[in-house]
């Protein structure tokens, strides 16, 4: 069902003149962990029959590549719990060889990375983001509810051995892992990994009040800058992180700050859920149904719907977290939209 990619097609440009060149595709909303800031412990996931097939995901990716998308990230949930992800990566990654796609990456919690790393590299993936909020086994288990940090660390080692660059994503959580931020930075520097710190986002109902764990990253950055030389970098990886060079460690650290510093002005991203819903913004509910278009009208209908979607992309999100027990910005969990 894959569509024919024709380089030089009409670019995807939203109503504010921003060109969309980065697509994140969730391959499943399921996850084998239950991180407290992300999910409730008792989750209801999408029925499997509603999930796009791997062939349909590849067809959607083809359509976006034909319209100028240069980078694609596979996400979840946890993408590596779905069978056949290296095969999907190979279908999409073939466009890197033709020059129509610059990069194919993947975000994972790392629990299944050890058995997938070589296959991902062979499929064309060269970089993975691994979510790791703590290297302390007890803290990690508490945050994830039942996770084994050794499995994640094994996965990171396997990824490095396979030739994959690794970036560590760490959600900063007040009272849980804030004391581990500097040790995590030093560990990443020693291992050759970039580190990105992320503020918790008000997405979906969870079992706790996010205000209890919200740690503003402007303060974290100032604290690190009091002990290290942080030099802002122009380097970008396509996402919202703003990077700094840590001179004394020879390392890079990124900050994703949806609450303290809105980063929407130059947004070049859209997201597709595992059921084929295209969301133009993580913090808004406007969406179009690519699955229906693809199944009922084929590639032509899918292409036409992309034009409609561009008119729905908002200028910015409106994340707020100041009020205790406030409703989340959107009801869907991060695992639905994809990280």
Contact 104, 120 (CB under 8 A): no
Cα distance between residue 76 and residue 87, in whole Å: 16
Sign of CA pseudo-dihedral 46, 48, 49, 54: positive
Total H helices, total E strands in the chain: 9, 12
Binding site feature residues for S-adenosyl-L-methionine: 37, 77, 131, 201
Contact 184, 172 (CB under 8 A): no
Binding site feature residues: 24, 31, 35, 37-38, 73, 77, 107, 131, 167, 201, 264, 267, 269-271, 281
Contact 81, 116 (CB under 8 A): no
Contact 79, 129 (CB under 8 A): no
Binding site feature residues for [4Fe-4S] cluster: 31, 35, 38, 264, 267, 281
Residue 110 sits at the vertex; the CA angle it makes with 28 and 51, to the nearest 5 degrees, is: 5
Q: Which helix (H) or strand (E) holds 45?
A: none
Binding site feature residues for GTP: 24, 73, 107, 167, 269-271
Query: What secondary structure letter does DSSP report for 321?
Result: -
């Amino acid at each position: 069902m894959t569509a024919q990619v024709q380089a030089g097609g009409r670019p995807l440009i939203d109503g504010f003149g921003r060109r969309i060149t980065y697509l994140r595709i969730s391959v499943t909303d399921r996850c084998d962990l239950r991180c407290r800031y992300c999910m409730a412990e008792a989750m209801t996931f999408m029925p499997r029959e509603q999930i796009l097939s791997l062939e349909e995901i590849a067809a959607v990716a083809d359509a976006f590549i034909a319209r100028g998308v240069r980078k694609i990230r596979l996400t979840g949930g946890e993408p590596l719990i779905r069978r056949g992800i290296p095969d999907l990566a190979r279908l999409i990654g073939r466009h890197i060889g033709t020059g129509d796609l610059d990069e194919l990456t993947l975000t994972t919690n790392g629990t299944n990375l050890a058995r997938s790393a070589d296959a991902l590299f062979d499929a064309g993936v060269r970089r993975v983001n691994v979510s790791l909020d703590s290297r302390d086994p007890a803290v990690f288990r508490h945050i994830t509810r039942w996770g084994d940090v050794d499995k994640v660390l094994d996965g990171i080692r396997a990824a490095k051995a396979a030739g994959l660059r690794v970036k560590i994503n760490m959600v900063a959580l007040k009272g849980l892992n804030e004391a581990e931020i500097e040790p995590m930075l030093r560990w990443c520097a020693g291992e050759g990994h970039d580190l990105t710190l992320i503020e918790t986002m008000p997405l979906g109902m969870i079992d706790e009040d996010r205000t209890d764990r919200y740690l503003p990253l402007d303060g974290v950055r100032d604290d690190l800058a009091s002990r290290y030389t942080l030099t802002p970098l122009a380097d970008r990886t396509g996402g919202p992180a703003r990077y700094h060079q840590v001179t004394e460690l020879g390392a890079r650290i990124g900050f994703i700050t949806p609450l303290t510093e809105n980063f929407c002005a130059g947004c070049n991203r859209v997201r597709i859920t595992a059921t084929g819903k295209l969301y133009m913004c993580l913090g808004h509910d406007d969406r179009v149904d690519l699955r229906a278009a693809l199944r009922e009208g084929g590639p032509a209908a899918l292409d036409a719907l992309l034009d409609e979607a561009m008119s729905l992309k908002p200028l910015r999100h409106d994340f707020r977290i100041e009020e205790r027990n406030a409703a989340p910005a959107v009801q869907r969990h991060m695992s639905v939209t994809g990280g």
